[in-house]
């Protein structure tokens, strides 16, 4: 089995006005992703996804160019089952043979960002191919699954203090969720406005529903501490990205100052960055995004790090289908996982891009049974919304 063709597209799906929401990322008028299709010489097709922007929308021209014109050509003729050697080849660049012999990394200068997003897309597609070629779901190749269904949490919560109760109750009615996450931070101006919204949410949910908050890294350390004090009696299950990813010592300071568990990692890539989060005691819950951190291969390594440091693992899965399904398989196979992020904003990159229905029932989501990642891309839909491609 050899790789015959690598094609990537910038897929941009408009979101109808009544389903748009506004956060610190602005109004989400589109859902964008870089989607890669890798085909083998025996006709197996694997799908992957790379990401370079938080929120739903973003510019994917450069990432798609990288996949089509720089990384893609290096994969032609390779055995797609060599997933880890291909990862290291792309990460270590011209010194990859030296690195393989020496037994330690010698990465390219471009060792984060677009490069690792592109590696992520390739890695996800290669796991999909391996599963399909063996007739096995990816979780089985990762060592098996710990459950047939895992708990999911409703990820959304942008409404103001007067309407947040209705918004979160709506999520719970739709999927039976036992946990919900709402947005806080710069979109509210000052910490006390966010705190009022959180108190309204807690009052509406009662004590038995887990409530998490996500500041998207928009507080200073001082603001994050103020916010923690203001919501100290709200029993938050986690406080996500209190400060920017580039201030890990600051995040550790917030964690040390509060009893609220800190979650972080959607803005981090590779095991090396997550090692730093763990060593600096900056987070309780590691949240790699499979389409940004380095794919399924790297997400599994990060999950192992979480377990080794007695931390927990809850990947960032606000994403399209290839990334979201990757998260399902990785969580199914990881001892440190405990919950799946399920986006409650409009998400055509899951619900319209693939044929399968993705649903949460009684707060639980099924781990896919089909070979590979377990979804079928509607190629006509993809091509109809591709604004950049090979």
Q: Is 289 in the site for Mg ion (CB under 5 A)?
A: no
Shortest distance, position 216 Cβ to Mg ion, whole Å: 6
DSSP characters over 27-92: E--EEEEEEEEEEETTS-EEEEEE---SSS----HHHHHIIIIIIHHHHTTS-TT-HHHHHHHHHH
DSSP characters over 220-263: -HHHHHHHHHHTTTS--SEEE--S-TT-HHHHHHHHHH-SSPEE
| 144 contacts 321 by C-beta, under 8 angstroms | no
What is the DSSP secondary structure assignment for residue 181, as one 8-state letter?
Answer: E
Q: Is 49 in the site for Mg ion (CB under 5 A)?
A: no
Of 107-115, 136-144, 184-192, 210-218, the window that binds Mg ion (rule: CB under 5 A) is 210-218
Of 168-176, 214-222, 268-276, 353-361, the window that binds Mg ion (rule: CB under 5 A) is 214-222
Footprint of Mg ion on 86-125 (CB under 5 A): none
Of 83-91, 94-102, 138-146, 239-247, the window that binds Mg ion (rule: CB under 5 A) is 239-247
- 66 vs 184 by CB, closer to Mg ion: 184
- 240 vs 284 by CB, closer to Mg ion: 240
- 123 vs 240 by CB, closer to Mg ion: 240
Q: Is 341 in the site for Mg ion (CB under 5 A)?
A: no
Shortest distance, position 241 Cβ to Mg ion, whole Å: 6
Nearest residue to Mg ion, scored by beta-carbon proximity: 214
Shortest distance, position 293 Cβ to Mg ion, whole Å: 13
Q: Is 214 in the site for Mg ion (CB under 5 A)?
A: yes
- 188 vs 214 by CB, closer to Mg ion: 214
- 49 vs 214 by CB, closer to Mg ion: 214
DSSP characters over 102-161: HTS----S--STHHHHHHHHHHHHHHHHHHHHHT-BHHHHTT--S-SEEEEEEE-----T
Give the integer Cα–Cα distance in Å for 15 and 40. Answer: 34
Q: Is 268 in the site for Mg ion (CB under 5 A)?
A: no
- 227 vs 375 by CB, closer to Mg ion: 227
User: Which of 230, 187, 190, 235 minimizes the C-alpha distance to 211?
Assistant: 235
Binding site for Mg ion (CB under 5 A): 214, 240
């Amino acid at each position: 089995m050899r790789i015959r063709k690598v094609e990537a597209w910038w897929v941009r799906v408009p979101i109808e006005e009544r389903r748009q929401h506004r956060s610190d990322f602005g109004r989400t008028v589109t859902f964008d992703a870089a989607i890669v299709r890798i085909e083998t010489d025996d006709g197996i097709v694997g799908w992957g996804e790379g990401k370079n922007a938080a929120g739903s929308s973003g510019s994917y021209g450069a990432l798609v160019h990288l996949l089509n014109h720089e990384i893609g050509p290096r994969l032609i003729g390779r055995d797609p089952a060599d997933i880890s050697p291909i990862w290291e080849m792309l990460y270590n660049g011209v010194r990859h043979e030296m690195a393989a012999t020496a037994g330690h990394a010698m990465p390219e200068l471009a060792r984060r960002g677009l490069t690792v997003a592109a590696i992520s897309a390739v890695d996800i597609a290669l796991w999909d191919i391996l599963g399909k070629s063996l007739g096995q779901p990816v979780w089985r190749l990762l060592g098996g699954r710990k459950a047939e269904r895992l708990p999911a949490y409703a990820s959304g919560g942008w409404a103001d203090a007067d309407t947040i109760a209705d918004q979160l109750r709506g999520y719970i009615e739709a999927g039976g969720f036992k946990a919900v996450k709402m947005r806080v931070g710069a979109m509210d101006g000052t910490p006390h406005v966010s705190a009022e919204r959180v108190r309204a949410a807690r009052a509406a949910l009662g004590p038995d529903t887990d409530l998490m908050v996500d500041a998207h890294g928009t507080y200073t350390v001082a603001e994050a501490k103020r916010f923690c004090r203001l919501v100290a009696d709200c029993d938050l299950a986690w406080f996500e990205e209190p400060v920017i990813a580039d201030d890990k010592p600051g995040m550790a300071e917030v964690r040390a100052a509060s009893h609220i568990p800190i979650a972080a990692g959607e803005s981090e890539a590779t095991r090396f960055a997550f090692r730093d989060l763990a060593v600096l005691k900056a987070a309780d819950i590691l949240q790699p995004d499979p389409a940004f951190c380095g794919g399924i291969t790297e997400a599994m390594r990060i999950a192992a790090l979480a377990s080794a440091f007695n931390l927990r693992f809850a990947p960032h899965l606000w994403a399209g289908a290839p990334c979201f399904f990757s998260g399902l398989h990785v969580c199914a196979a990881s001892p440190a996982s405990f919950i799946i992020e399920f986006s409650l904003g409009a998400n055509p990159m899951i619900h319209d891009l693939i044929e399968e229905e993705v649903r949460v029932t009684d707060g639980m989501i099924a781990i896919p049974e089909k070979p590979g990642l377990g979804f079928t891309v509607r190629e006509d839909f993809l091509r109809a919304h591709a604004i950049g491609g090979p």
